[in-house]
Amino acid sequence: MPETAPRADRPADRLRDRTSGTRYGNRPTMKDVAARAGVGLKTVSRVVNGEPGVTPDTERRVQEAIEALGFRRNDSARVLRKGRTASIGLILEDLADPFYGPLSRAVEEVARAHGALLINGSSAEDPDREQELALALCARRVDGLVVIPAGDDHRYLEPEIRAGVATVFVDRPAGRIEADVVLSDNFGGARDGVAHLIAHGHRRIGFIGDMPRIHTAAERLRGYRAAMEDAGIAVADSWMSLGVTDPERVRRAAEAMLTGPEPVTAVFAGNNRVTVTVIRVLAGLSRQVALVGFDDIELADLLQPGVTVVAQDAAALGRTAAERLFRQLDGTHLTPERIELPTRLVTRGSGELPPSD
Amino acid sequence: MPETAPRADRPADRLRDRTSGTRYGNRPTMKDVAARAGVGLKTVSRVVNGEPGVTPDTERRVQEAIEALGFRRNDSARVLRKGRTASIGLILEDLADPFYGPLSRAVEEVARAHGALLINGSSAEDPDREQELALALCARRVDGLVVIPAGDDHRYLEPEIRAGVATVFVDRPAGRIEADVVLSDNFGGARDGVAHLIAHGHRRIGFIGDMPRIHTAAERLRGYRAAMEDAGIAVADSWMSLGVTDPERVRRAAEAMLTGPEPVTAVFAGNNRVTVTVIRVLAGLSRQVALVGFDDIELADLLQPGVTVVAQDAAALGRTAAERLFRQLDGTHLTPERIELPTRLVTRGSGELPPSD
DNA sequence: TAGAACCTGGACAACGTTGTCATGCGCGCG
DNA sequence: CGCGCGCATGACAACGTTGTCCAGGTTCTA
C-alpha cells in the first residue's frame, strides 16, 4: 500500500515547508485520515459532514483516525468549493464605545442562531479604513455585511452587492447607494427630549452635537430645531455648538453658552460622549442647569441628580439589522428598506430641573 | 477567440448556479479578467499582488479589466494555496462588558499593524461555547488565537497548537495545557486595595467576589486574605461573599454584612459588576461605608463620593497578548510564559472614608 | 435462482488562487 | 552576424474539500 507513505515524503509537502510558515507538523487532511482508516477520501468527507450512507463500523474507524491524527476540516477549502462561508462581517466605528457593545453582541447572537460566524473590525471613524475593511471582508467572501458607516459614499460596495453580498447599514444610512438601513428615530427622540425641557419651563436651551455631516447628528439637530419652533422659541446662534466632540472643546462650548449674554438654563447633549463632558462641567457650577442627553450612559441613575436621557436600544438596532441581513440571504431579492426604531425618554432628575434664573 | 465566451455557458457554472445560493451574477475570477484583458491568468495574479515583471502597458490593461468586471480576489482560494490566513481570532466572554471594549480594540490595533484581520466571538462564559468557537476559528485556519478562557480545560487545543496555531490566553490562565498567558496582578491589586482600607482605619472589611473557581476571583480573594493577615486581622466568615454576581444576590449579600453582629465598615468589591451594585446599596444607607472596587468604572469620579478602584489596564492586556501572539508567529518556538501586568490604585474618595462606627 | 433494487464506498473533477518552470522575444556584445 | 542573456508572459499543477457518478456487493422479490 504505497499510498500510506508519510506526507513529508511527497514533493508537495517539502515545497510547502519551504514556502509557507507552517512550523510544526503539517495538518492532516481528509486524505491522511482516509489512508489511516483504510477507506476512501469521500467516505471521510461523509463522516465529517454527517452525511448518510456510511456503515456504523466504517464510521467508527474513520472517527478513530480523526481522533488519532487530530484532524480538523479546512474550512477555506470548503468555502472555496461551496461558495458560501457561513460568516458575516460587522464594521463599527469604535469597539471601545459602550454603545456598540450591546449592538455587536446582538448581531453575534443572531448570527449564531443562523449558524454563522461574526467577523468584525472597527473603522475608527475613518471612511478609508471602513472601505478597506469592508472590501477585505468581501475578499474573504463573507455572506453579508452589517455596516455602521463612517463615510458617506458607499458606491464601492456596488459590485459586491451585485455579486450577492447581503448588506445592511445601521445607525446611519448608506451614502449614494440604495441599501437596507436600520436607524433610531434620532429626529423624534431629540425633539421629544427638547420638548421635555420646554415642558419644564425652559426657553433658553443649548444644543451641543457632532458635525452635521454625520446623519445622526444632523437629525438630532433637526429635532432640536423642530421642538423649539413648535414652542415658538427663536434659537440664538450662541446656543448651538456643532461639530465638537473632544472633551476640551465641548467643555469650552458648554461654558460659553452658560455664561453668554443670554445664558441657557438647560442643555441638550447630542451624544453620550458629549453628555459625560457636560455632566462634568455642570458638576462644577453653583447654579443648577437642566440636562437631557441623547444615548444612555451607565450609572446615570446614581449621579446627583440622575441624568435624564433619550435612550436608544442598541441591542434592538443590532438584532433588527442582523435579522434583516439573514432575510436577504434566505429569500429572494428584497427592495431596500428604511427601518426606524423608536427611542425612549428616561427621566431621572436632570431633565426635570426648573430654570434657575 | 472562443475562450471569451460568457461564463454561464461553461458547464461548471450552470452547476454552481444550481447548488450554491449565489443569487446574482457569479463573481468574476482571475480567469475572466485575463480573458477580458487578453493576457494569461498568471499575469493577472501578478498585477493583483503587485509582483514585479509586468509591463506598464499590460498592467494598465489588466487594471481596466479588473475595474470593468468589479473583480475582487477570492481570499479563500488564496488561503488554501498559501497556508496562512493573515487573521487571528479573539474569544472573549461578553462583548457587552465594558471591560472588554478597550481590550478588544487593542488586539485589533495590533492585528491591523501586522496586516491581519481580527475575528471575534464571545463565549458567554460557557466553556462548551468557548470550545466550539475556538475550534470553528481553527477550522477557518486563523493563524492565532487570543483567548479569554471561560472553561478550565483547554486540552482540546493541543492538536491545534501542535499544528502551529499561535495561542495566548488573557485575563485568566489556560487549564491543563502549557501556554502563554497575560494577566493582571489580581493578587497584588486586591491586597493593595484592602491594605488601603486598613490604612484608613478599617478593621471589619467585607469582600464580595465571584466564584473562586474563576482564577481572577480566587486571586483577588487571596489578596484580600493576605492584606488582612498582614494587618493581623482575623476574618469573619460573615464578611465574605463568594460566587454571587447577579445584582439581587449581591445586594442581599452586601446588606447582610452591613447589618450583621459584626457589621463591616468597608467593602472590597471583587469586580466591576459587583462594584456597581454595591454603590447602589451604599447610596441608600444613612451611614457612610468605605468602598474599593476591582476594575475601573466609567463616571466613577462623578459620583458622590468618587469611587476608589483598583484599575487594570485592559488595553495593555490586549496589546501585550496580541504582541506576544505575533512574536510566536514570527519567530521560532517560544517557551510558554506568564506575563503579569501591574494594577493601579485610583483614589477618588470612597476608599478614604474613615470607619463610621 | 435470476434479476432488480438498494446500499456502501471510491474515483474524479472542480472551486480560484499561487509557485514553478518553460517559452519566446528583443537586445547587447563579442 | 550570431550567441546568449534577461525579461515579460503563460501553461500547469497543487492546495483540501465536496458534488457527481459509477462499481461492486447485498438483499429482496418474482
The tens digit of pLDDT for each residue in B29-52 reads 999 999 999 999 999 999 999 999
Task: Kindly state whether residues A106 and A199 are assigned to the same domain.
Answer: no
Task: Kindly state whether residues B59 and B7 are assigned to the same domain.
Answer: yes
Task: Kindly state whether residues A105 and A154 are assigned to the same domain.
Answer: yes
Cα B165 to Cα A26: distance, rounded to the nearest angstrom: 11
Residue B351 placed within a domain: no
Which of B50, B73, B96 represents a domain boundary (last residue)?
Answer: B73
Query: How distant is C1' of D25 from CA of A53, in Å?
Result: 14
Q: Is the pLDDT of residue A242 over 50?
A: yes
Q: Is the pLDDT of residue B130 over 50?
A: yes
Q: Is the pLDDT of residue B13 over 70?
A: no
So what's the pLDDT on residue B332?
Answer: 67
Q: How many CA atoms lie within 13 A of B30 on its CB side?
A: 15
Instruction: Report the domain count for chain B.
Output: 3
Q: Is the pLDDT of residue A5 over 70?
A: no
State the CATH number of the domain containing residue B295: 3.40.50.2300
Average pLDDT, chain B: 89
Residue A354 placed within a domain: no
Q: Which residues from chain B sit within 8 angstroms of residue A12, using beta carbons?
A: none
Beta strands A117-122 and A344-346 are: unpaired
The tens digit of pLDDT for each residue in B309-343 reads 999 999 999 999 999 999 999 876 789 999 999 99
Q: Is the pLDDT of residue A24 over 80?
A: no
Q: Is the pLDDT of residue B9 over 70?
A: no
Q: Which residues from chain B sit within 8 angstroms of residue A27, using beta carbons?
A: 163-164
Are residues B83 and A21 in contact, defined by beta-carbon separation less than 8 angstroms? yes
The residues close to strand D, meaning Cβ under 7 A, are A 10, 12-13, 16, 26-27, 29-31, 41-42, 45, 48-49, 71, 73-74, 77-78, 80-82; B 15, 18-19, 34, 38-43, 46, 52-55, 57-58, 77, 80-81
Which of A73, A93, A125 represents a domain boundary (last residue)?
Answer: A73
Mean pLDDT for the stretch of residues B235-262: 93
Among the listed residues A33, A42, A32, the one whose alpha carbon sits nearest the alpha carbon of residue A61: A33
Residue A198 placed within a domain: yes
Task: Kindly state whether residues B205 and B166 are assigned to the same domain.
Answer: no
Residue A79 placed within a domain: no
Residue A351 placed within a domain: no
* H/E run at residue A146: strand A144-147
So what's the pLDDT on residue B96?
Answer: 79
Residue B165 one-letter amino acid: V
Question: Strands, E, within A295-337: which ranges?
Answer: 308-311
Q: Is the pLDDT of residue A6 over 50?
A: no
Phi, psi of A88 (to 5 degrees): -125, 155
Mean pLDDT for the stretch of residues B105-131: 91
Task: Kindly state whether residues A231 and A199 are assigned to the same domain.
Answer: yes
Among the listed residues A107, A324, A98, A79, the one whose alpha carbon sits nearest the alpha carbon of residue B122: A107
Give, as ranges, the nucleotides of chain C with any atom within 7 Å of a protein CB: 7-12, 14-20
Contacts made by residues B170-179, CB under 8 angstroms, sequence distance 24+:
B170/B103, B170/B146, B170/B317, B170/B318, B170/B321, B171/B103, B171/B216, B171/B317, B172/B148, B172/B214, B172/B215, B172/B216, B173/B149, B173/B215, B173/B338, B174/B147, B174/B149, B175/B149, B175/B151, B176/B152, B178/B336, B179/B154, B179/B336
Q: B226 to chain A nearest CA, in Å?
A: 32
> What is the domain extent for residue A239?
186-312
Task: Kindly state whether residues A152 and A199 are assigned to the same domain.
Answer: no
Nucleotide nearest to A78 (CA to C1'): D17
Cell of A295: 444615548
Cα A243 to Cα A274: distance, rounded to the nearest angstrom: 11
Q: What percent of chain B has pLDDT over 90?
A: 76
CA distances from B80 to A16, A24, A80, B7, B315 (A): 12, 18, 8, 23, 33
Beta strands A344-346 and A308-311 are: antiparallel
Q: Which of A146-155, B9-18, B323-332 has the highest mean pLDDT?
A: A146-155
State the CATH number of the domain containing residue A48: 1.10.260.40
Residue A155 placed within a domain: yes
Residues 85-104 of B with CB under 8 A from A: 85, 87, 94-98, 100-102, 104
So what's the pLDDT on residue B30?
Answer: 95
- Strands across the sheet containing A117-122: A117-122, A87-92, A144-147, A166-170, A180-184, A338-341
So what's the pLDDT on residue B18?
Answer: 27
Residue B71 one-letter amino acid: F
3-class secondary structure per residue, B205-220? EEEEECCCCCHHHHHH
So what's the pLDDT on residue A122?
Answer: 86
Residue A67 one-letter amino acid: E
Residue A347 placed within a domain: no
Cα B107 to Cα B116: distance, rounded to the nearest angstrom: 11
So what's the pLDDT on residue B107?
Answer: 95
- In this structure, the number of other CB atoms found within 10 A of the CB of residue A182 comes to 25
Cα A148 to Cα A143: distance, rounded to the nearest angstrom: 17
Strand partners, A15: none
Partner-chain residue, chosen from A23, A76, A104, that has the shortest CB–CB distance to B79? A76
Are residues A196 and A292 in contact, defined by beta-carbon separation less than 8 angstroms? yes
Task: Kindly state whether residues B263 and B190 are assigned to the same domain.
Answer: yes
The tens digit of pLDDT for each residue in B186-196 reads 999 999 999 99
Task: Kindly state whether residues A212 and A289 are assigned to the same domain.
Answer: yes
Q: Is the pLDDT of residue B89 over 50?
A: yes
Task: Kindly state whether residues A99 and A175 are assigned to the same domain.
Answer: yes
Could you tell me the pLDDT band of residue B223, with boundaries at 50, 70 and 90? very high
Residues 47-86 of A with CB under 8 A from B: 70, 72-77, 79-80, 82-85
Are residues B214 and B245 in contact, defined by beta-carbon separation less than 8 angstroms? no
Mean pLDDT for the stretch of residues A259-267: 94
Task: Kindly state whether residues B47 and B190 are assigned to the same domain.
Answer: no
Which of A23, A42, A73 represents a domain boundary (last residue)?
Answer: A73
The tens digit of pLDDT for each residue in A302-356 reads 898 999 999 999 999 999 999 999 999 987 678 999 999 999 999 999 999 999 8
Task: Kindly state whether residues A164 and A198 are assigned to the same domain.
Answer: no
Cα B196 to Cα B189: distance, rounded to the nearest angstrom: 10
Q: Is the pLDDT of residue B174 over 80?
A: yes
So what's the pLDDT on residue A8?
Answer: 33
So what's the pLDDT on residue B104?
Answer: 92
Are residues B215 and B203 in contact, defined by beta-carbon separation less than 8 angstroms? no
Residue B354 placed within a domain: no
Could you tell me the pLDDT band of residue A53, with boundaries at 50, 70 and 90? confident
So what's the pLDDT on residue A124?
Answer: 86
Mean pLDDT for the stretch of residues A49-66: 92
Nearest residue to D13, CA vs C1'? Answer: A12
So what's the pLDDT on residue A7?
Answer: 32
Are residues B311 and B98 in contact, defined by beta-carbon separation less than 8 angstroms? no
CA distances from A133 to A71, A153, A334, A357, B197 (A): 31, 15, 25, 51, 48
* H/E run at residue A193: helix A186-199
Contacts (Cβ under 8 Å, ≥6 apart) of A124: A93, A94, A150
Strand partners, B265: none
Residue B244 one-letter amino acid: V
Alpha helices in B140-246 (DSSP H): 158-162, 186-199, 215-230
CA distances from B117 to A245, A262, B44, B114, B317 (A): 29, 52, 24, 9, 19
| Partner-chain contact B105 A119, CB within 8 Å | no
| Neighbour-count burial of B12, counting CB atoms closer than 10 A to its CB (0-12 exposed, 13-18 middle, 19+ buried) | exposed
Task: Kindly state whether residues B254 and B305 are assigned to the same domain.
Answer: yes
Q: Is the pLDDT of residue B68 over 90?
A: yes
